[in-house]
Amino acid sequence: MFTNEKKIFVKNLQEGDITTKFQIYEKCIRQDKNGNNYIELKLGDRTGKTTARLFFEQAHVQRTFESISKGDVVKLEGQYSESYNSILVNNPAKISKCSPNEYRLGEFRCVCDKNLEDLLGEIKTTIEAMKNAHLKRLLEEMFNDQAFIDRFKEAPSAMSRHHNYGGGNLEHTVGVLRLCKNISEFYDVDQDLLFVGAILHDVGKIQTYTFEETLPTRTNEEKMISHIIIGDRMIHDIIKEKFQDFPGELKNQLSHLILSHHGKHEWGSPIPPETPEAIVLHHADLLDSQVKNSLQRKL
Ligand SMILES: [Fe+2]
Ligand SMILES: [Fe+2]
């Protein structure tokens, strides 16, 4: 059981003998200079990544390789080399797959270190203060739906770049919303429209990013359609089903915000931002994602 064991995290690895648990991100079989097969694993935890090289008698290589999978948490014993950032394991008995009751998920899956309820509260306060009844009703419809909220709170924002952890998309959304609120003090923009754009700009990610075991993954919808298009469709479906009196021009303005928020075609947006609100949203989104990406790389 996990309760009495102190886990050694990637960030605390030191040269020498080590026994700990890591999650497998990738596995492959390689050959050494003598033509013998060995297993190479990319693995890690919420603090970072490392590798492991498993040199066994050839009869054990394939068997061990098939017994472990991407996403598994494994216990391993070996020697860590700081210069190679790699753990050498030389006995098949020194690596074993853990069952879920043998580890704490939070040690492996990165989760947002902010209070998600507080972040959600900022969105709800923003909705309450809205004057545009159509936009307010749209957001109330979404944020009064507990199933929607659960998915919105859980979603990561990416697989490996900024906010790539549980709650990351909520943290990013509030980051963009705060920037938009500040920037809107300097320009004559439609604040309600801009804030709805900020709150919903990445809403498609609740369908297009998920967790496979403990790893953030892109669904086929993200690969083939993208969160931008999915998000736009989600909003239009709700408007079509619930709010037939929603003004067509307002719907277009909102669509424009969602579709253009990545700024350029080569960055995933089918159209560039043209309206003042869309230009502000794009830059707020870019700023929040790039700054966070840089901060995460520093960790
Ligand atoms: Fe996006
Ligand atoms: Fe975004």
| Residue boundaries of the structural domains of the chain | 10-107, 116-297
Q: What is the mean pLDDT of the chain?
A: 92
Out of 1.10.8, 1.10.3210, 1.10.3470, 2.40.128, select the CATH number for domain 116-297. Answer: 1.10.3210
Span from the CA of 228 to the centroid of ligand 1 (angstroms): 6
> For residues 179 and 172, what is the distance between their CA atoms, to the nearest angstrom?
11
**Residue 230, CA distances (Å) to 14, 42, 76, 77, 204 in order:** 45, 32, 41, 45, 5
Distance 193 CA to ligand 1 centre (A): 17
Ligand 1 centroid from CA 168, angstroms: 13
* pLDDT at residue 214, as a whole number: 64
Q: What is the pLDDT of residue 11?
A: 87
Is it the case that residue 191 has pLDDT exceeding 80?
yes
| Residue 48 Cα to ligand 2 middle (Å) | 24
More confident residue, 233 or 114: 233
Question: From ligand 2's centre to the CA of 192, what distance in Å?
Answer: 18
- Percent of the chain with pLDDT strictly greater than 70: 96
Query: Does the pLDDT value for residue 55 go beyond 50?
Result: yes
Mean pLDDT value across residues 50-73: 93
Q: What is the CA radius of gyration of the chain?
A: 23
What b/e string do you get for 225-244 counting C-beta neighbours within 10 Å, with b at 16 or more? ebbbbbbbebbeebbeeeee
Q: pLDDT confidence of 104, banded at 50, 70, 90? A: confident
The whole-number pLDDT of residue 46 equals 80
Q: Is the predicted pLDDT of residue 4 greater than 60, yes or no?
A: no
**CATH of range 10-107; options 3.20.20.80, 3.40.50.2300, 2.40.50.140, 3.40.50.720:** 2.40.50.140
Q: Where are the beta strands (DSSP E) in the chain?
A: 16-31, 37-45, 48-54, 73-81, 86-89, 95-97, 209-212, 215-218
Q: How confident is the model at residue 1 (pLDDT cuts 50, 70, 90)?
A: very low
Confidence class of residue 150 from pLDDT cuts 50, 70 and 90? very high
**What's the average model confidence in pLDDT over 53-80?**
94
For the segment 131-138, the average pLDDT, to the nearest whole number, is 98
Question: Do 285 and 260 touch, CB atoms closer than 8 A?
Answer: no
Q: At what angle do helices 227-242 and 133-143 cross, to 10 degrees?
A: 110
Reduced to 3 states (helix: H, G, I; strand: E, B; else coil), residue 262 is coil
Q: Region 93-120: what's the mean pLDDT?
A: 87
Residue 2 has pLDDT above 50, yes or no: no
Q: What is the DSSP letter of 186?
A: T
* Closest ligand (CA of 262): 1
Quote the pTM value: 0.72
Residue, of 166 and 240, whose pLDDT is higher: 240
- Residue 229, pLDDT score: 96
CB-based contact 89:78 (threshold 8 Å): yes
**Ligand 1 mean position, distance from CA 222 (Å):** 11
- Sign, CA dihedral 263-268-271-277, equals negative
Cα 288 to middle of ligand 2, angstroms: 8
Mean pLDDT comparison of 4-13, 147-156, 223-232, 253-262, highest-scoring range? 253-262
Check whether 52 has a pLDDT greater than 70: yes
Do the Cβ atoms of 268 and 141 come closer than 8 Å?
no
Tell me the β-bridge partners of 54: 39, 89
Output the CA 251–ligand 2 centroid distance in Å: 20
Across the range 54-79, mean pLDDT stands at: 94
Confidence class for position 163, pLDDT limits 50, 70, 90:
confident
Residues 53/58/59/64 CA torsion (nearest 10 deg)? 10
Alpha carbon of 277 to ligand 2 centroid (Å):
15
The predicted model gives 214-218 an average pLDDT of: 74
137: confidence class by pLDDT, cuts 50, 70, 90: very high
Asked if the domains 10-107 and 116-297 are classified in one and the same CATH topology, the answer is: no
Q: Which of 5-9, 96-100, 152-156 has the lowest mean pLDDT?
A: 5-9
In angstroms, what is the span from residue 256 Cα to ligand 1's centroid? 13
Contact (Cβ atoms closer than 8 angstroms) between residue 25 and residue 43: yes
Quick one: pLDDT at residue 219? 84
The share of the chain scoring above pLDDT 90, in percent, equals: 74
